[in-house]
Amino acid sequence: MSTEKAKVMLVDDHAMLRHGIAMMINLESDMEVVAEAGDGAEALAILKKNTPVDIVLLDVTLKTVSGFEVIKSIHALIPALPTLFLSMHDESVYAERALRAGALGYVMKQESGEILLAAIREVLKGNIYLSSAMQGKLLKRIATGGSEPEQLINKLTPSEFEVLHLIGQGHSSQEIANLLCRSIKTIETHRFNIRVKLNLKDGADLIRYATRWISEEH
């Protein structure tokens, strides 16, 4: 029986959180953290050096670029490398999008360490990991084919999706720019593109739509 530990990479822009998760993982007999990165560019640079990694844990919201985009870049570089999202964002809003981006699972940061470790082990086996509640929700969506609003939202880019979510939570453009480490001009461009793709007439219509969408998702 092999005693080699699974090699984990952590990608999160909060260093203290990364270190805490790394300490927990390194206490396990079957896995260890071999690399840490603060953003997507750093993670890709590590992987390009052929650093042995068996799974990547990453956040949705990272500096300069969305975690969804980072996953696409990772899979372009190493197609078979399993990825698992570990995020503060609500699973009911982001989990389906995470799977569409190519991740094999989604765990919220508020969950226990035992759940995270279980998720890592499932994804390492090639299985998908979601909470039982989210599994039921996704199966219902598949069975019904999804509503027209859901189909329109799927047209949004990862960054536009993040902005829509934050608008629905009541954040202003300046607050969103600060949270995502983007310029106010970039956020306003995203707002415009979201309105066009969702067929919304103005900013007030966008806020109403985003607020209603968030309430329906939860």
Residue 48 is encoded by which pair of tokens? 């390009």
Structural domains in the chain (count)? 2
Domain boundary among 90, 115, 137: 137
80 and 182 belong to one structural domain? no
Residue 31, Ramachandran bin (φ over 0: left; ψ between -120 and 50: alpha; else beta): beta
- Give the integer Cα–Cα distance in Å for 107 and 100: 15
- Give the integer Cα–Cα distance in Å for 215 and 83: 28
Contact between 117 and 25 under an 8 Å Cβ cutoff? The reply is yes
Instruction: Identify whether 142 is part of a domain.
Output: no
33 and 124 belong to one structural domain? yes
Q: Identify the domain containing residue 57 by its residue range.
A: 6-137
Contact between 11 and 39 under an 8 Å Cβ cutoff? The reply is yes
Query: CATH number of the domain that 30 lies in?
Result: 3.40.50.2300
Instruction: Identify whether 82 is part of a domain.
Output: yes
pTM of this structure: 0.71
The model's pLDDT over 93-146, given as tens digits with 9 standing for 90+, comes to: 778 888 888 899 999 888 899 999 999 999 999 999 988 777 777 776 666 665
- Give the integer Cα–Cα distance in Å for 38 and 18: 9
* 44 SS3 class: helix
Contact between 93 and 118 under an 8 Å Cβ cutoff? The reply is no
124 and 155 belong to one structural domain? no
132 and 156 belong to one structural domain? no
Contact between 183 and 163 under an 8 Å Cβ cutoff? The reply is no
The model's pLDDT over 36-88, given as tens digits with 9 standing for 90+, comes to: 999 989 999 999 998 899 999 998 888 777 888 899 899 999 999 999 999 88
